[in-house]
Structure 1
């Protein structure tokens, strides 16, 4: 049997087979989508809060609910990662860390920094 044929990998195994730079790039795109969708949620809450006192109470109650806190945490953590990865891309534009090892190190640093920011944000929100 010919062993040079392509192998279809299931999605979890495929994610483990990707290099860290690819995972960081995909996560940067995903966080951009989360931020785009999250802005509609935040703009809706701002509109409710600015409408009247009852709307302000409703917006505050939404953000105090566990699901509201989780949504806010997801948006803020996405913002943190997106900013860190954006700074990494700006550094790459100036040829800082544009080697293979530099790219890997930058990906790991951006993932670690965003993870720490996510933990800090979780402690702050809860």
Structure 2
């Protein structure tokens, strides 16, 4: 039995470009994993608080390193992105907003909202506004 070589090949990343809604969907899953992993760090912080002054000082030293600050802000962004995407899913649950133009507009609003919420949190936390 001969293999049919005239069949079209499946699209791959060099040919096929994911639509914005597909990228947002994948990112939503990734932020869910990031939030789960971030909870481990959150539990460490809570246990350091309960552990007393020495434990708290050690945790503060670790958390003041640039990598852990970056991870913390990544966790906050993931939280807001996941929240905004969840709101979009609630809108979809009404059975509306499935037109391509609306889907893309809501995806951009979702990205902008999550960034704005993260920046507002940074300003509020950094400047105490």
User: Normalising by the residue count of structure 1, what TM-score does the alignment of the two structures yield?
Assistant: 0.81
1:7 shift after superposition: 4.6
- Counting matched residue pairs gives 122
Cα distance in 1 for residues equivalent to 2:86 and 2:107: 11
1:101 shift after superposition: 2.0
1:2 shift after superposition: 5.2
Cα deviation, 1:37-69, whole Å, max 9, x if unaligned, reads: 100111012101211110111122222221111
User: Is 1:101 the equivalent of 2:101?
Assistant: yes
In structure 1, the residue matched to 2:33 is: 33
Distance 1:27 1:7, change over 3 A: closer
In structure 2, the residue matched to 1:75 is: 75
User: Normalising by the residue count of structure 2, what TM-score does the alignment of the two structures yield?
Assistant: 0.80
SS of the residue aligned with 2:68? helix
Question: Which blocks of at least 5 consecutive residues in structure 2 are unaligned?
Answer: none
In structure 2, the residue matched to 1:117 is: 117
Cα distance in 1 for residues equivalent to 2:32 and 2:9: 36
Give 1 or 2 for the bigger CA radius of gyration. Answer: 2
User: Is 1:54 the equivalent of 2:35?
Assistant: no
Question: Which blocks of at least 5 consecutive residues in structure 1 are unaligned?
Answer: none
- Aligned residues: CA RMSD: 2.5
